[in-house]
Structure 1
């Protein structure tokens, strides 16, 4: 069995400290150096606006200072791990109030970003159509709506929306899918699934398993060169394998370990050419984010030797 050894781990740490934002640095310190949790929450809160939503490039690919449901979902991905802290509860309650206020009843969900995203540096896929006032991400209802419903489920005490009806809507939508075109949308459903009670989660499981196993690439060369869903995008710990073959999980673990042994980092597979000018720093931020994400997965599988 292959393990990430101490020297390449230290090189990955250097990558995060050299390229990462203060958020990634504090997360690394918390997860790997017994760093304090409060300062992580404080850093996440620095991206929060007075309306309770998050912006300010917490999602590196759009630099919009104003709040958006998408950026708020990114913040909540972190905050769920710290929600026993009083400071986090206050931040979360404001975020849920923002989501209540930006719910679009006609959509039965949320649009990812406002039109004003166009006024600030952003990757092409985040640009809003000026006439339709939606971006390409909005073609898939579940991204980020399904994920947001998961947070509303977890934090029911802070929302005025009908959470049970929202869960039913998400379930009906997933059940109606005959083809799966967006692995990001299914990732949002996976995050919802992990925040549901066991009985409700069980109702999503068959279709979710089908989606995951349809979308993942089994080709290591594709993992290296193309923007595809890898097994460990969905299976982030030994607790839930979905329908993914354990040998494929092992192959993906070893792929990441070999990448870190060779390069000391995990780089995005999408082109750096998207990050010219004012967007250039986003590339380095992604290197740190993805490297940290992989280290956390390896830690959860017990594959780091320190």
Structure 2
């Protein structure tokens, strides 16, 4: 079993100093150098808009200033990592989501305002987009994780249950990530267990080609030992991919991404984000020596 050594963590730290966004540099310090949480929150604030949502390339492939749903998902993660689930920004995110929710109770994948600013070519939407399990499930799951009681959660949770119990049984990989986030944190644990049991084979079937093609790793769906995603893979598969993750550290100390880089700045922004996330995964599985 391979373990990332302290010298490799130091190489990652230097990579972050040279390349990472300030937000991700503070996240690195928080998770691996016993740094304070306050700088993470301070670095997150400039990405927030008056409507309670987030823009300004918090999601690197959405370069516009206006709020979009997926950046709110990132913001909830960073708030949670900083121990700030009770931060007023969480309620403001709920207000923002309420303002953009479709008639079906779900949040669209992306809003038409995406057309007004540079963005990755896959961010496409019709004029009146319906709600989508991606990112509604991810957002609802994260708000449940935060212990939020915002009014947006009740219809959004109902939307997710309806999708799981009456909708498509062939989710894409990003749909699967949203579904897993929802099931991991929704308060009704018995219903979540029943839903996971029912769709487990469908999730396994749709994830296998993505993993085999190199588009995702099992660790994307099981970034920590806890959660439903871990139950989709055997221990041997997880161990193999943890070893491969350690081997994938670049000569410069960071981890790279294998998706389309459509404008140069997104590679260092994504690499800084991914490097922190890869190290968090290794830490959660006991594969990191600080």
TM-score where L is the length of structure 1:
0.84
Residues in 1 aligned to 2:110 and 2:9: alpha-carbon distance in whole angstroms: 36
Do the aligned partners of 2:76 and 2:143 also contact (CA within 8 Å) in 1?
A: no
Alignment of 1:24-35 (within 5 A): 24-35=24-35
Structure 2 unmatched ranges of 5 or more? none
Pick which of 36-45 and 293-302 moved more: 36-45
Q: Secondary structure at the match of 1:56?
A: coil
Alignment of 1:200-279 (within 5 A): 200-217=191-208, 222-223=213-214, 228-240=215-227, 241-260=230-249, 264-272=253-261, 274-275=262-263
Do the aligned partners of 2:173 and 2:210 also contact (CA within 8 Å) in 1?
A: no
Q: Secondary structure at the match of 2:53?
A: coil
The counterpart of 1:145, out of the listed 136, 148, 152, is 136
1:168 Cα deviation after fit: 3.3
Q: RMSD between aligned alpha carbons?
A: 2.5
Q: Does 1:65 align with 2:55?
A: no
CA distance 1:292–1:155, shift in 2 (3 Å): closer
Residues in 1 aligned to 2:199 and 2:151: alpha-carbon distance in whole angstroms: 28
1:35 Cα deviation after fit: 0.7
Residues in 1 aligned to 2:191 and 2:222: alpha-carbon distance in whole angstroms: 20
1:175 Cα deviation after fit: 3.1
CA distance 1:178–1:72, shift in 2 (3 Å): closer
CA distance 1:40–1:208, shift in 2 (3 Å): farther
1:17-38: per-residue Cα shift (whole Å, max 9, x none)?
2221111001000000111112
Q: 1:51 — aligned with what? A: 51
Structure 1 unmatched ranges of 5 or more? none
Q: 1:173 — aligned with what? A: 163
TM-score where L is the length of structure 2:
0.88
